[in-house]
């Protein structure tokens, strides 16, 4: 049996887990066991899917026996399977972190009973989006994960979370409506929403209609991916959520939007029709995002702005329309999911140990908790692109693609990428110097928890009622350390990962493997002869 035929289980298993954990809503220990167990099983399955895509090429799975383009189809290729593995690994680490937080204190930030089923529904939506072979099923995947995210963002019901949740919901609904309108227009123009079928039929439309559909989809996905100037909502929405929720949102949700952009740009709209606007958007996203980060004193908001900024690197690689640029973008997506999530989890630990995520209230954390300092330093340097970390390697690939293209705008992107990387290092260094390196007494407004000795009661005007300083829970530290180790592993095994990214990029640019997997070997692929020049081929 072909392992790829089990791809639907990547969606079914989390949904099954959500149902079981909802039934166990009064049994928290059983809930934890079921959610962690089924998510671990899902990750194992997705690792097998990645191995299958590496050795056997692209595979399509039809649902219900309906032959494409009429039925739902799920497609397993190297890009989708890589995204599945990375997203589930990150989701599992965040779930263990959230579980440890809940076991440690049970305060308003801890995962209440509805957390587990909602979280697993979110994972199912992400997996469905990555595997989807038609636009409407991609829309369904977005709606599943967004519906779950609405609940997760407002856990605890505090005023700031409700206000941020309202903004997030409004923006998400607008982008979903735009996407749905675009799908209706695509169907009206071509009579299909199957992406392999669209890859053929969109080429038969006149250029004006094709460009309109192209722009509609790009705007819808650009909002979801937080590409400038459609990124205004993110820095005000993510930081208010509980630490585990913020971490998984930062790692995954915007990357699903980036994935949709990459898939539609390479499969449905090949060529360089809108490359210039994409390059400009990438440059502005990088520069405006990092300038926003430099103006922040709260670590969560700073990381939210760096999240926006580094989305620009991924759009940079996509806009190059070359195998080198796209491979670097694929590599960078996998890197950034891991690193950005790690940093948000570490920020949750900082908030727990220091009493705040504002650098004005922090100091001396390197001495108070050397492990916490190490957990921040490694992914921080990785995000900044310091060699030999994966962030540096991904950026080098992007710079190479820009230099190879050789246009003035491409050189501007290369310069912008280097400047953004240096400013990211400056932002991380400022956090390090103020929160970790200086003495606690040098902080402008030190929190009483920061100044107290672990195990003693915090005192002072800023202390919470009945608050004591505790050592960081091992489960939370362990899951964070595991994710940081995964980020280091991406650097150690960068060679094989770049090889996988390169093969995925060449297949996507050629389009033949995807279209033949869905519609059959005999299907004529427009522009396939030109696409083979990128080095791709059907395996």
User: Which helix (H) or strand (E) is 474 found in, with range?
Assistant: helix 474-492
Q: Is the dihedral of CA 41, 503, 501, 215 positive or negative?
A: negative
Of 222, 321, 317, the C-alpha closest to 267 is 321
- In contact, 190 and 201? CB cutoff 8 Å: yes
Cβ partners under 8 Å of residue 93, min gap 6: 341, 345, 479, 480, 482, 483, 486
Distances (CA, A) of 149 to 50, 102, 248, 306: 27, 19, 10, 21
Q: What is the pTM of this model?
A: 0.89
Q: Report the first-to-last Cα separation within the chain, whole angstroms.
A: 19
Cβ partners under 8 Å of residue 366, min gap 6: 373, 436, 437
pLDDT (tens place) for every residue of the chain, 539 residues total: 678 888 899 999 999 999 998 888 888 888 888 999 999 999 999 999 999 999 888 898 888 777 877 888 999 999 999 999 999 999 999 999 988 876 655 544 445 678 889 999 999 999 999 999 899 999 999 999 999 988 888 776 677 778 877 888 888 899 999 999 999 999 999 989 999 999 899 888 888 899 999 999 999 999 989 898 888 888 877 777 788 888 888 888 889 999 999 999 999 988 877 889 999 999 999 999 999 999 888 899 999 999 999 999 999 999 988 899 999 999 999 999 999 999 999 998 998 888 778 888 888 888 888 899 999 999 999 999 898 898 899 999 999 999 998 899 999 999 999 999 999 999 999 999 988 888 777 667 666 666 665 555 444 444 444 444 456 778 888 999 999 999 999 999 999 999 999 999 999 998 888 888 888 877 777 765 433 333 333 32
Which tokens go with 280?
């400009």
Spatial distance between the Cα atoms of 176 and 140, rounded to a whole number of angstroms: 10
């Amino acid at each position: 049996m072909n392992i790829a035929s089990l791809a639907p289980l990547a969606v079914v298993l989390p949904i099954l887990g959500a149902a079981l954990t909802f039934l166990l809503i009064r049994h928290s220990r059983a809930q934890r066991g079921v959610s962690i167990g089924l998510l671990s099983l899902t990750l194992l399955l997705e690792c097998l899917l990645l191995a299958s895509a590496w050795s056997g090429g692209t595979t399509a799975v039809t649902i219900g026996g309906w032959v494409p383009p009429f039925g739902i189809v799920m497609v397993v290729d190297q890009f989708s399977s890589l995204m599945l593995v990375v997203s589930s690994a990150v989701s599992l680490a965040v779930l263990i972190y959230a579980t440890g937080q809940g076991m440690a204190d049970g305060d308003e930030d801890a995962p209440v009973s509805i957390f587990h089923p909602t979280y697993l529904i979110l994972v199912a939506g992400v997996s469905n989006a990555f595997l989807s072979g038609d636009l409407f099923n991609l829309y369904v995947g977005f709606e599943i994960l967004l519906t779950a995210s609405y609940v997760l963002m407002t856990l605890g019901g505090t005023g700031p979370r409700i206000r941020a949740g309202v903004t997030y919901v409004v923006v998400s609904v607008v982008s979903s409506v735009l996407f749905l309108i675009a799908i209706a227009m695509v169907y009206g123009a071509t009579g299909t929403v199957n992406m392999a079928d669209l890859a053929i039929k969109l080429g038969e439309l006149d250029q004006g209609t094709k460009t309109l559909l192209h722009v509609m989809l790009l705007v819808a996905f650009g909002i979801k991916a937080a590409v400038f100037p459609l990124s205004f909502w993110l820095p005000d929405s993510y930081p208010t959520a509980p630490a585990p929720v913020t971490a998984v949102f930062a790692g995954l949700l915007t990357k699903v939007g980036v994935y949709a952009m990459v898939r539609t740009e390479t499969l449905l709209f090949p060529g360089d029709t809108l490359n210039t606007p994409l390059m400009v958007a990438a440059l502005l996203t990088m520069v405006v995002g990092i300038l926003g980060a430099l103006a922040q004193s709260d670590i969560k908001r700073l990381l939210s702005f760096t999240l926006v900024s580094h989305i620009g690197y991924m759009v940079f690689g996509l806009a190059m329309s070359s195998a080198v640029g796209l491979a670097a973008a694929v590599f960078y997506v996998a890197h950034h999911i891991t690193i950005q999530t790690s940093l948000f989890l570490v920020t949750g630990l900082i908030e727990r140990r220091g009493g705040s995520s504002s650098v004005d209230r922090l100091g001396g954390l390197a001495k108070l908790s050397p492990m916490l300092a190490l957990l921040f330093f490694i992914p921080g340097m990785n995000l900044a692109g310091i060699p030999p970390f994966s962030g540096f390697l991904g950026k080098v690939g992007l710079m190479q693609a820009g230099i190879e293209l050789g246009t003035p705008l491409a050189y501007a992107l290369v310069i912008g990428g280097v400047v953004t990387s240096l400013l990211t290092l400056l932002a991380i260094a400022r956090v390090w110097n103020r929160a970790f390196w200086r003495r606690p007494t040098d902080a402008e407004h030190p929190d009483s928890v920061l100044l107290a000795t672990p195990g003693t009661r915090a005192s002072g005007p800023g202390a919470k009622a009945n608050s004591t300083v505790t050592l960081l829970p091992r489960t939370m530290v362990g899951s964070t350390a595991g994710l940081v180790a995964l980020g280091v592993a991406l650097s150690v095994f960068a060679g094989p990962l770049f090889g996988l990214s390169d093969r995925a990029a060449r297949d996507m640019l050629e389009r033949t493997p995807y279209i033949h997997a869905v519609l059959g070997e005999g299907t004529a692929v427009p522009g396939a002869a030109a696409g083979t020049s990128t080095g791709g081929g059907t395996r």
